[in-house]
Amino acid sequence: MKQRRTGTYEQGDDSYMKKWKTSLLSASVALTVVLAGCGGNNGSAEPSGGGEQGSGKKNITLTYMASQGWIKDSEMELAKKFEAETGIKIDYQIVPADQYFNVLKTKLNAGEGPDIFGGQSGYSEITMNYNVEKNAVDLSDQEWVKREDPLSIEQLTVDGKVYALTIWDTYSSFVVAYNKKLFGELGIEVPKTYEELKQAAETIKAAGVTPIYEPIADGWHHVMWFSEPGPNYDKLEPNLYADLNENKKKFADSQAMLDSLTQLKEMYDLGFFGDNSLSDTGSDTAAKLGSGEFAMSLSAQSLAVELADDYGFELDDIGFFPIPLTDNQIYYIHPGGPSKFIYSGSKYIDEAKQYFNFLTKQENLQFMLDNDPTISNLNFPGLENKYTAEQQKLFENYSERGTDLQNFVTYVNPQWMDIGKDIVAMLAADMKPLDVLKSIDQRREEMAKVAQDPNWK
Amino acid sequence: MNRSVYPFYFGLAALIVYSIFFVLPGVMGIFYSFTNWNSYSDEIRFIGFDNLAKIFSGEGRYLGFIYNTLVFTVSTVILKTALGLFFAMLLNDGIRAKGFHRVMLFMPSIVPMLVVGLIFKSILNPATGLLNESLRMIGLEVLTQKWLTDLGWAFKSIIAVDVWKGVGYIMIILLAGLQSIDKTYYEAAEIDGSNFWQKLIHITLPLIVPALVVTTVLNLLHGLKVFEAVYVLTNGGPGYATDVMYTAIFKEFSTGNYGMGTALSSVLFVVMTVIGYFVVRLMSREGDER
């Protein structure tokens, strides 16, 4: 059960902390670049192909490089079956998460990519960081493309071409988890608007409980309050997402975003996060809710399992609702996730495609789902999920779906930690909400310029 | 040169290694500071002084980072020197268990800054930290602060932690200076009836100037290069209130703006070279007088 928790946080990490992880090595980036020529060979000295084409079964080894946590044990078991069936062996090269993007980019730039490589999703990510049009194989004609969740497919599409396969639990977003017993005792209904959230928090505060545990010290977590209600901003200001991507609108032009930040600031000023939130860290979330000191927290849905395991809660003592800033009622999802790309320079493109076809067989997807504690559903239809009753309720109550900000709007994910700093400055009254938006615009412009984005010319 | 015992090519191997691994990257760094080198495109474009203009134009927060670095440097130089001298004089004589006290004061210097930072991060935690808990326990709740997250306190806390860690090292150097002073000066001064301050100003300080120059240089360079203390304790926060040059450089590199990162380090390089030059000249003049 512990594993489930780790897995889900990792997913969160992967989505939000990408840049952060990459950053850890960046201090030595100058050196890395200087040594790129030699560095490219590290870890893949062996040739990607296993040798002669034997009779009957092929005798081929595919190298598959990915970041830690991206390849589930159940997939490795499937790979063994695949090898037994076809003779194609998969050689996994797992790289520690903090180094992965440096290693991958170095290899791709040096023209020595592995046969299959893992990567994150999103338009700006795959074009800017992996240059998929040059480095990855177009997979649009594959059969599984028709079955995979179209929202996931969209994340891996450039100019109408699909470049990667995503097999991931994309539906379990971070939502506000709340203590149902406490809500019941105080007679609080699940808030549907910001005003209701405010009322609820005031009632909770008056009862001597701190309303929301918000680990701002982590630097990335509090940014979700701003980014997750993204689809609601797009609803309030139609076509906002597209206009932002085409540079027809700036963040600073959006009243909805300004309102959202202003509301976040108000919550902070009213003491809803307690007076220690700037020093609080995410690893204490379960303990803080478990002790009854706090009533709510924006967290992974596996928090309920954790509380049930370690703090004597029942699974259905914890309920969920999406962040109601700007009165958001849309259940936001990150349709992307760690994905599998085939390297365009690989000698075994067909075999790699064969592997993807094997993985996406219905029975194999179900096998993965059944045999991995960190997965409760996958982004393919017709699978039997493992949702808890409260999760089911969440999905039923919030049927409207949308993609969160960072997975749709370009140049947001790469500046995640910077936005985090801006928001802290805003909470500390060192910056105004509008300045935070302007600062995001400025960094987007810088990134767009270096990426030579035609919309910013 | 004429008096040298060995021909110059004996040093060639060392010179080549030094040039390749130190001089060349340094020069390349300065070259890159005039480009838009970044992680998002393969092409490196020469953009002249754009990066530098951006640093000094006041847009962005670069001037704030420079200001913070200078505040940090000046305050740590003053505090470490004053406290270091104070402790050195205390421990020079007239105290029991001198050796023990010296070791205790020197101890923080041998602990890595990252470790010190992590320890202090927990000590300074507003809710659960040792400092605030102690203050509460003795009834001084009014003095409790959000040491690392309050705009008015965060930078002061960082300076305090850095001084705590660095003062022992400075003390040892000054102690060595103090011990080289002949006791007869003080005896003569006492006979003449001079008090503590007169002895300090007219005997002690002039005679430990060489040691003070050394500690000042060390403190200056340490202050300008500060990174870990800020990185571990606040990571520049809250917001950007405690960011310094090196945390800014680190951030530029991690976001892939290598050109801007090298531009910032080049600025720092120039500042440090200029300061270093004057300080070395000052020191060598001291040496000549002797």
Among B267, A273, A298, CA closest to B275: B267
pLDDT (tens digit per residue) in A125-140: 788 778 898 899 999 9
Give dist(CA A379, CA A340) in Å, integer: 14
Domains of chain A: 2-168+336-379 (3.40.190.10), 175-333+395-456 (3.40.190.10)
Q: What value does the mean pLDDT take over residues A12-36?
A: 40
3-state secondary structure of A44: coil
Phi, psi of B42, rounded to the nearest 5 degrees: -75, -20
In angstroms and rounded to an integer, the radius of gyration of the C-alpha atoms of chain B is 23
Q: Where are the beta strands (DSSP E) in A73-160?
A: 88-95, 116-119, 157-158
| Strand order through the sheet with A294-299 | A210-213, A294-299, A175-179, A318-321
pLDDT (tens digit per residue) in A366-405: 999 888 877 888 999 989 888 888 888 998 899 898 888 9
Q: Give the pLDDT score at B161.
A: 95
Minimum distance, in Å, between the CA of residue A94 and any CA atom of chain B = 22
Contact A215, A325 (CB under 8 A): no
Handedness of CA A112, A114, A119, A124 (dihedral sign): positive
**pLDDT band at A349; cut points 50, 70, 90:** very high
Residue A15 has pLDDT above 80, yes or no: no
Q: Give the pLDDT score at A8.
A: 34
**pLDDT band at A3; cut points 50, 70, 90:** very low
Partner residue opposite B127 with nearest CB, options A29, A279, A430? A279
Among A167, A202, A159, CA closest to A70: A167
Q: Does A426 touch chain B (CB under 8 A)?
A: yes
Give dist(CA A449, CA A456) in Å, integer: 7
**pLDDT band at A62; cut points 50, 70, 90:** very high
Partner residue opposite A26 with nearest CB, options B29, B41, B253? B253
Interface contact flag, A422 B36, Cβ < 8 Å: no
Q: Give the pLDDT score at B286.
A: 57
Across chain B, what does the average pLDDT equal?
87
Residue numbers in A near B250 (CB within 8 A): 23, 26-27
Q: What value does the mean pLDDT take over residues B186-210?
A: 91
Unique residue bearing structure tokens 């963040």? A251
Q: Which residue has the higher pLDDT, A295 or A406?
A: A295
Interface contact flag, A430 B38, Cβ < 8 Å: no
Partner residue opposite B258 with nearest CB, options A29, A414, A452? A29
Interface contact flag, B25 A30, Cβ < 8 Å: yes
Give dist(CA A286, CA A303) in Å, integer: 7
Q: What value does the mean pLDDT take over residues B202-221?
A: 89
- Count interface pairs A-B at CB distance under 8 A: 90
Mutating which of B54, B149, B242, B252 best tests the A interface, going by the most A Cβ atoms within 10 A?
B149
Residue A200 has pLDDT above 80, yes or no: yes
CA atoms in the 13 A half-sphere facing the CB of B141: 4
Contact A183, A296 (CB under 8 A): no
Unique residue bearing structure tokens 């700093």? A421
**pLDDT band at B283; cut points 50, 70, 90:** low
Q: Which residue has the higher pLDDT, B174 or A38?
A: B174
Interface contact flag, B255 A27, Cβ < 8 Å: no
Query: What residue spans of chain B are helical by DSSP H?
Result: 12-18, 24-32, 50-56, 62-92, 98-110, 113-123, 130-137, 154-179, 183-191, 196-199, 205-207, 209-224, 228-233, 245-254, 258-289
Q: Give the pLDDT score at A31.
A: 37
Contact A130, A108 (CB under 8 A): yes
Residue numbers in B near A27 (CB within 8 A): 250, 253-254
Q: Does A29 touch chain B (CB under 8 A)?
A: yes
Residue numbers in A near B39 (CB within 8 A): 29, 105
Chain A (434-453) residues lying within 8 Å, Cβ to Cβ, of chain B:
446-447, 450-452
Residue B87 has pLDDT above 60, yes or no: yes
**pLDDT band at A2; cut points 50, 70, 90:** very low
Q: Compute the CA torsion angle B22, B25, B27, B29 (nearest 10 deg).
A: -130
Q: Give the pLDDT score at A12.
A: 41
3-state secondary structure of B263: helix
Residue numbers in B near A109 (CB within 8 A): 42
Among A325, A330, A332, CA closest to A397: A330
pLDDT (tens digit per residue) in A153-186: 988 998 899 999 999 988 888 899 999 999 999 9
Residue A386, Cβ neighbours under 10 Å: how many? 15
Partner residue opposite B126 with nearest CB, options A279, A414, A431? A279
pLDDT (tens digit per residue) in B15-35: 999 999 988 988 888 898 898
3-state secondary structure of A321: strand
Q: Give the pLDDT score at A50.
A: 40
Residue A28 has pLDDT above 80, yes or no: no
Question: How far is CA A410 from its chain centroid?
Answer: 15
Interface contact flag, A424 B148, Cβ < 8 Å: no
DSSP string spanning A331-398? EEE----SEEEEBTT-S-HHHHHHHHHHHTSHHHHHHHHHT-TT-S--SSTT------HHHHHHHHH-
Q: What value does the mean pLDDT take over residues B97-125?
A: 90
The pLDDT > 90 percentage for chain A reads: 51
Q: Is the pTM of this model over 0.90?
A: no
Give dist(CA A19, CA A125) in Å, integer: 11
Bridge partners (DSSP) listed for residue A164: A341
Residue A34 has pLDDT above 60, yes or no: no
Contact A446, A300 (CB under 8 A): no
Residue A17 has pLDDT above 80, yes or no: no
Give dist(CA A259, CA A232) in Å, integer: 12
Nearest C-alpha in B relative to A30: B258
DSSP string spanning B120-166? HHHHT-TTT-HHHHHHHHTT-GGG---TTTSTTTHHHHHHHHHHHHH
Q: Give the pLDDT score at A4.
A: 35
Q: How far is CA B62 from CA A218, A421, B245, B264, in A?
A: 24, 15, 8, 9
**Which tokens sit at B278?**
């004057």
pLDDT (tens digit per residue) in A90-123: 999 998 766 687 788 778 877 889 999 999 888 7
Across chain A, what does the average pLDDT equal?
84
CATH architecture under which domain B60-289 falls: Orthogonal Bundle (1.10)
Among A160, A85, A15, CA closest to A359: A85
**pLDDT band at A35; cut points 50, 70, 90:** very low
Residue B97 has pLDDT above 90, yes or no: no
ipTM over 0.85: no
Interface contact flag, A279 B149, Cβ < 8 Å: yes
pLDDT (tens digit per residue) in A399-446: 898 888 988 898 888 788 889 989 999 998 889 999 999 999 998 998
Interface contact flag, A427 B240, Cβ < 8 Å: no
Q: Give the pLDDT score at B96.
A: 79
Cis peptide before A414 (omega within 30 of 0): no
